Amino acid sequence: MARSLLLFVLCALPVLSSAWRKGNPFLIKGRVYCDTCRCGFETRKTTYIPGARVRIECRDRTSAELKYRSAGNVTDGSGTYHIVVEGDQEDRICHTVLVSSPLHDCKVADPGRNRAQVILTRSNGAVSDLHFANAMGFFKDKALPGCDKLLKELLQDV
């Protein structure tokens, strides 16, 4: 008993200490929306999509080669997702990316909002494990009634 415990400790220690050096995993949080006005940004008519699939990809800064791809995850009832990333991605360029939408009439990713950059390194002095990504969106097939009026109002406020 004591012996197997000792063995366990001896085997587990190196694993634990390398995990310690790398720091806690990062937790990335963001939302996925349906752009119901097809305007490229969130408005008060925007809805959030439960069950949308996203993942994180990191590429080499110079070659753009894919170096890391997280497991996918899906958004909860409020359209919010969480993705855990183990390990420091150093100077790689990392994005959360849209994978799919469960809505048949809102499943074409907005090319301007289909990814959001996330910083997954502590070499820049970041201390928090929780990082927020900008929201990403799919276009509704047809803009909702009232969007013209809403967009006119928004433009007047600029």
Ligand X SMILES: *[C@@H]1O[C@H](CO)[C@@H](O)[C@H](O)[C@H]1NC(C)=O
Q: How many of the other CB atoms lie within 10 Å of CB of 97?
A: 18
∠55-98-132 over CA atoms, to 5°? 65
Q: Which stretch binds ligand X (CB under 6 A): 39-47, 80-88, 94-102, 107-115?
A: 80-88
Question: How far apart, in whole angstroms, are the C-alpha atoms of residue 151 and residue 41?
Answer: 11
Task: Indicate which single residue of 22, 61, 82, 142 sits in contact with ligand X (rule: CB under 6 A).
Answer: 82
CA-wise closest residue to 79 among 27, 35, 131, 130: 35
Size of the site for ligand X (CB under 6 A): 5
> Is 143 a residue that touches ligand X (CB under 6 A)?
no
The residue (of 39 and 136) whose beta carbon lies closer to ligand X is: 136
The residue (of 22 and 82) whose beta carbon lies closer to ligand X is: 82
For residue 12, give Cα distances in angstroms to 25, 86, 119: 18, 18, 30
> Is 75 a residue that touches ligand X (CB under 6 A)?
no
The residue (of 84 and 108) whose beta carbon lies closer to ligand X is: 84
Distance of CA 151 to the CA centre of its chain: 28
> Is 73 a residue that touches ligand X (CB under 6 A)?
yes
Task: Indicate which single residue of 41, 84, 107, 143 sits in contact with ligand X (rule: CB under 6 A).
Answer: 84
Site of interaction with ligand X (CB under 6 A): 71, 73, 82-84
